[in-house]
Amino acid sequence: MQKIGFIGLGIMGKPMALNLIKAGFPVHIYVRRAELLRELTEAGATAHASSKELAEQVDVIITNVPATADVEEVLLGKNSVIHGAKPGAIVIDMSTISASATKRIAAQLESKKIEMLDAPVSGGEKGATEGTLTIMVGGKATVLEKVQDVLNTMGKQVTLIGDHGAGQIAKACNQIIIAETIVAVSEALRLAEASGVDAAKVREALLGGFASSRVLEIHGKRMLDGDYKPGFKANLHRKDMHLAMDQAHLANLTLPGATYAMKCIDRLVMKGHSELDSSAVHIIAEE
C-alpha cells in the first residue's frame, strides 16, 4: 500500500486521515498542535518535524489546509514538500483554493517531477467522518488512476473534471450553488412565516416536489430549529465565495445571484457569527 503523508488535520482532515489509517494505509503526519499529534499517533500515524521530512518518507502527500497561502507554504515554502518529495511522488491538494494558483503550483512541482491533483471536497464533517465525500479532481487521468484507492477511502464519488485547477472550478460552482440555495430557502421560509403560515409544513411539502434540495432538507431544518452549530462555518464559506467570485472576475462574469449570496455571508461574518454554520444567513436577514 502507498505510504501517505497528511498535512492539515482540521475538522475535515482529521477524520479523513483516520479513515486512511483504518483502511490500512501507513499514514505520516506533520502537525503542530500537541493534542492532535497525540490523537493521531495513538491511532497509528507517524509524526514528522516538517513537511519536507514527511515528504521524504511517503509516496502520496495529501494537503488539506485553509487557504491558498497555506498550500503554497507547505508545498513550496521553506522546509516544505517540494524540497523533500521523491520524483514520481503525488501531491493531492484537497484544500479549497484558487484555480489559477493551483495551476501555478502544479507547474512548479512538475519541474521537480512531482505530480499534483487538485481534489477539493463537498460533504462536510459528516462526509469526512463517514468516508462519503464528493471529490472533484483536476489533473491527469493517469495520476488519478494511481491514487484512486486512496481517494475512494475518503469519498464515495470521485469525478475527474479536467486538467489542473478544474477540481477547484467545480468546487467554486458547488459553493455558489449552495450559498444561493441557502438564500432561496431562507427567503421562502421567511415568506411563509411573515404570511402567518407554518414554515415547517411548507418545508415538508416542498421536499416532495421540484423545489427539493439537500439545502432545503438540511439547512431548512437548521433554520426552522434556529440551530446553527456547523456543519460548514460561515468564515470558510465566505472565503470560498470570494474565491469563486475572483474566478468569475477572471472569466469576465458578474453572477448577480452569487454576488448577493456572498454579501449575505459577508454580513453574517461582519456581525460576529463567523463560527456559525453559513445557513445562519437566515438570522441576519431578519434583523
Residues known to be catalytic: 171
Q: Contact between 136 and a second copy (CB under 8 A)?
A: yes
Cα separations (Å) of 104 from 76, 98, 173, 252, 271? 11, 10, 21, 20, 35
Q: Contact between 218 and a second copy (CB under 8 A)?
A: yes
Taking each helix axis from N to C end, the angle separating 13-22 and 34-43, rounded to the nearest 10 degrees, works out to: 20
Q: Which stretch binds a second copy (CB under 8 A): 5-13, 37-45, 87-95, 191-199?
A: 191-199
Cell numbers at residue 278, please? 453559513
By beta-carbon proximity to a second copy, the closer residue of 40 and 154 is: 154
By beta-carbon proximity to a second copy, the closer residue of 80 and 181 is: 181
Cα–Cα dist 125/143, whole Å? 27
237 to 256: interface string for a second copy, x by CB under 8 A: -------x--xx-xxxx-xx
Cα–Cα dist 241/119, whole Å? 18
Q: Closest approach of Cβ 225 to a second copy, in Å?
A: 18
| CA dihedral sign, ordered 149, 167, 265, 210 | negative
Q: Closest approach of Cβ 230 to a second copy, in Å?
A: 13
3-state DSSP assignment of residue 286: helix
By beta-carbon proximity to a second copy, the closer residue of 146 and 190 is: 190
Report the b/e string of 216-247 with b at 16+ CB within 10 A: bebbbebbbeeebebbbbbbbbbbbbebbbeb
- Tell me the site size for a second copy, rule CB under 8 A: 68
Cα–Cα dist 174/186, whole Å? 18
- Of the candidate residues 23, 47, 184, 283, the single one contacting a second copy (CB under 8 A): 184
By beta-carbon proximity to a second copy, the closer residue of 40 and 244 is: 244
Q: Which residues bind a second copy (CB under 8 A)?
A: 99, 122-124, 127, 133-134, 136, 156-157, 159-162, 166, 169-170, 172-178, 180-181, 183-185, 187-192, 194-198, 201-202, 204-206, 208-216, 218, 244, 247-248, 250-253, 255-258, 260-261
